[in-house]
């Protein structure tokens, strides 16, 4: 009864949009597709919806060859990032529109629409025109229309990306509630995003996609704690994980002109050159730390991102408050040595501060 993809490839004009992608999605579960822009996320969803036909591979749902089932019979609903609604219809009419095609009784349609409105928090908005709604409310209408269809597969393609910061935070919380309380156990939910924070908060099974290829699968915690390689480490962190080229000796980690005491979790690491990774949140302002020059300071929400340089070493530090800095100002920062990741020359994970590694 699963949705199963086997070795799916899609490469129009001989360019890979999907490259040998396989998956096994179970009913009642949430799956998150994490990847940067142009990684293949939308192509992945459109292939499931039947809007694109893969060049090779197989797609099965409920033990049936899904590729032979036309789009209108797949019982799939898709929510796009562009707030696709019918502007000439009010909220109620927007949600009811796809249900009219299914020859349901008026009583059943009314019940399904009311349930969907309640789930997305739009009760009382039934007669509002789409133009009278905020961006977040318009996206709720699109989601309600999909929920009312009671589709067995619900696809959400970066549904929050066009919203402002505060609204995105609010709707993210709403989506978490809807996904945990408002979905049938017969539904497979597939949610695509570029935002690692959404992945962590939604807490489903994750597929990391890059240039059409699956780099890693696992739950959100596993992806965060044990990124399989450098590319996953970059994609699954915002800002991307800082990567420094350096070496390990018996007492220190050394990066060009920076030396750090050897952390306990790396004491058995072979002495040689590696890529070392550390998250921006693990670099703190500290009067006893290393001196860096500020190349750029940017405020994001309630945080400040400092782009720092020392010699050829560049890092980003995340300060959990709004602070004012000047370009070229000198600051001292300290690295949390207990949170360093290590990757080998093939860019594969060797050691994680959370205790798991690939060898």
One-character DSSP codes across 188-234:
EEEEEES-HHHHHHHT-EEEEEETTEEEEEEEHHHHHH--SBHHHHH
pLDDT (tens place) for every residue of the chain, 359 residues total: 699 999 999 999 888 999 999 999 999 899 999 999 999 999 999 999 999 999 999 999 998 999 899 988 888 998 887 777 888 889 998 998 878 777 778 888 888 889 889 888 889 999 999 889 888 888 889 888 888 888 899 999 998 887 777 777 777 887 888 777 767 788 899 999 999 999 998 888 999 999 999 999 999 999 999 999 999 999 999 999 999 999 999 889 999 888 999 999 999 999 999 999 999 999 999 999 999 999 999 998 789 999 999 998 999 999 999 999 999 999 999 999 999 999 999 999 999 999 855 44
Calculate Rg over the CA atoms of the chain. Answer: 24
Q: Where are the beta strands (DSSP E) in the chain?
A: 3-10, 18-25, 30-34, 56-61, 64-65, 76-79, 153-157, 188-193, 205-210, 213-219, 242-248, 252-255, 258-261, 273-278, 283-300, 303-310, 313-319, 330-335, 341-343, 349-351
Beta-carbon contacts of 137 under 8 Å, excluding residues fewer than 6 positions away, are 122, 125
Q: Which residues of 23-48 are buried (b: 16+ CB within 10 A; e: fewer)?
A: bebebeebbbbbbeeebbbbbbbbbb
213 burial type by CB count under 10 A (0-12 exposed, 13-18 middle, 19+ buried): middle
CA quadruple 26, 189, 155, 105: dihedral sign: positive
Which CA distances in Å does 81 have to 24, 138, 163, 231? Answer: 25, 11, 9, 25
- For residue 266, count other CB atoms closer than 10 A to its CB: 19
Which SS3 state, helix, strand or coil, does residue 1 take?
A: coil
Q: Which residues pair with 318 in a beta bridge?
A: 305
- Report whether 48 contacts 28 (CB < 8 A): no
Same fold for the pair 3-228 and 242-351: no
pLDDT of residue 81: 79
- Topology of domain 242-351 in CATH is OB fold (Dihydrolipoamide Acetyltransferase, E2P) (2.40.50)
CATH of 3-228, one of 3.40.718.10, 1.10.1760.20, 3.40.50.300, 3.40.50.2300: 3.40.50.300
Q: Are 182 and 30 in contact (CB under 8 A)?
A: no
What pLDDT, on the 0 to 100 scale, is given for residue 76?
92
Domain residue limits, the chain: 3-228, 242-351
Q: Is 102 left (phi over 0), alpha (psi -120 to 50) or beta?
A: alpha
Work out whether strand 273-278 and strand 242-248 pair parallel, antiparallel, or are unpaired. antiparallel
CA distance 126 to 137: 12
pLDDT at residue 1, as a whole number: 64
Q: What is the pLDDT of residue 359?
A: 43
The whole-number pLDDT of residue 358 equals: 47
């Amino acid at each position: 009864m699963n949705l199963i993809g086997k070795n799916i490839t899609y490469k129009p004009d001989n360019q890979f949009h999907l490259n040998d992608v396989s998956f096994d999605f179970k009913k009642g579960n949430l799956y998150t597709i994490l990847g940067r822009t142009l990684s293949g996320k939308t192509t992945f969803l459109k292939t499931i919806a039947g809007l694109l036909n893969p060049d090779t591979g197989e797609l099965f749902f409920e033990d049936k060859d899904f590729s032979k089932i036309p789009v209108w019979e797949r019982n799939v609903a898709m929510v796009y990032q562009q707030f696709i609604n019918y502007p000439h219809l009010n909220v109620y009419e927007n949600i009811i529109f796809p249900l009219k095609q299914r020859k349901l009784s008026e009583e059943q349609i009314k019940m399904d629409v009311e349930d969907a409105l309640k789930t997305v928090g739009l009760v009382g908005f039934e007669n509002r025109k789409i133009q009278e709604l905020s961006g977040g409310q318009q996206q709720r209408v699109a989601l309600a229309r999909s929920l009312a269809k009671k589709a067995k597969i619900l696809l959400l393609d970066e549904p929050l990306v066009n919203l402002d910061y505060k609204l995105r935070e609010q709707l993210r919380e709403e989506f978490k509630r809807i996904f945990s309380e408002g979905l049938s156990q017969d539904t497979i939910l597939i949610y695509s995003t570029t935002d690692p924070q959404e992945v962590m908060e939604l807490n489903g099974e994750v597929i990391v996609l890059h240039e059409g290829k699956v780099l890693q699968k696992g739950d959100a915690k596993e992806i965060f704690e044990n990124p399989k390689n450098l590319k996953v480490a970059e994609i699954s962190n915002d800002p991307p994980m800082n990567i420094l080229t350096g070496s390990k000796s018996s007492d220190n980690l050394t990066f060009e002109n920076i030396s750090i005491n050897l952390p306990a979790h790396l004491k058995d690491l072979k002495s040689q050159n590696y890529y070392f990774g550390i998250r921006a949140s693990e670099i703190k302002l500290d009067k006893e730390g290393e001196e860096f020059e500020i190349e750029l300071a940017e405020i994001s929400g309630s945080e400040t991102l400092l782009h720092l340089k020392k010699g050829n070493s560049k890092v980003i530090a995340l300060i959990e408050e709004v602070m004012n800095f000047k370009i070229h100002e000198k600051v001292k920062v300290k690295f949390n040595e207990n949170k360093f990741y290590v990757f080998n020359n093939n860019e594969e994970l060797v050691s994680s501060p959370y205790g798991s590694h690939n060898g």
